[in-house]
Structure 1
């Protein structure tokens, strides 16, 4: 039996209490978790280079059910892994709910669709390039963010 999405579930339940449909509905589709990143010596570097499975225009995975097999570096978010992924953007619904924060006001669950995200430039569709279009020697030209991890988290990275 297919599970239903409960009314305003994001305000009423913890991440661990969500059913599969609710979990997937939390994703705003920004695509930021599908960008190339490296963590080295406690420094996170994010590139505007999309995973080969990301359809940049629609900001959707081309093969979501098989992504973990096809892209070994793909990250599977779960209630237990969200705290480990401190590179998730501050706007990420999973990160925000884990931290006890509300969804951002433009989140599709609040406004009904993803158009506000595109209007505000929140999705990667405005700047991401396909992985295959960037030679390794040119990756530095696509750095979009870099930050140092907190000291205690550095030991995990």
Structure 2
């Protein structure tokens, strides 16, 4: 068991800050605006991204000080991860909290932070900034993202152990 990776040995609460941060797969989907149907509780995704989301890297452009600009930005911690229903089904935090395995494209397994994008899981190239949009405009920007079980994503062709493959469009 001691040879197991930290995310299989530790609970979310036991992780160091560096281990915690490394669970983020860099998909950027938690930074998308979502609508909730008040009658059913269903979460409806949009393609409108937080104005701080870098659409290419799928990372926050001001992560350390994001709350100064976006006061309602949700900080993820173990209790929050376990209680919010809108984390993507592929989210590393959610998967570990549910005691499920990370997907092959997660950088902790692949060794490459770009595989989340290559697998088609991330928001890269699929969003526009929320700036200039009013809440009533959000319904015009509904988006479809991988569902409850996104499967394996797009796997690269077999290229041998230790080699990285770039996946075309």
User: What TM-score do you get using the length of structure 1 for normalisation?
Assistant: 0.82
Structure 1 moving runs of 4+ over 6 Å: none
- Tell me the residue number matched to 2:129: 130
Where do 5+ consecutive residues of structure 2 fail to align? 146-169
Structure 2 distance, partners of 1:139, 1:50, is 11
Deviates more, 1:47-56 or 1:126-135: 126-135
SS in structure 1 of the partner of residue 131 of structure 2: helix
Residue 40 of structure 1 deviates from its aligned partner by 4.1
Structure with higher RCO (Cα < 8 A, 6+ apart): 1
- Tell me the residue number matched to 1:89: 88
Number of paired residues? 141
Where do 5+ consecutive residues of structure 1 fail to align? 1-5, 147-157
- Tell me the residue number matched to 2:166: none
- String of CA shifts for 1:61-81, please: whole Å, max 9, x gaps: 111011122212211110111
Q: Which is richer in strand?
A: 1
Structure 2 distance, partners of 1:138, 1:24, is 33
Structure 1 distance, partners of 2:81, 2:144, is 20
Residue 135 of structure 1 deviates from its aligned partner by 5.2
- Tell me the residue number matched to 1:153: none
SS in structure 1 of the partner of residue 140 of structure 2: helix
SS in structure 1 of the partner of residue 99 of structure 2: coil
Deviates more, 1:133-142 or 1:7-16: 133-142
Structure 1 distance, partners of 2:56, 2:65, is 20
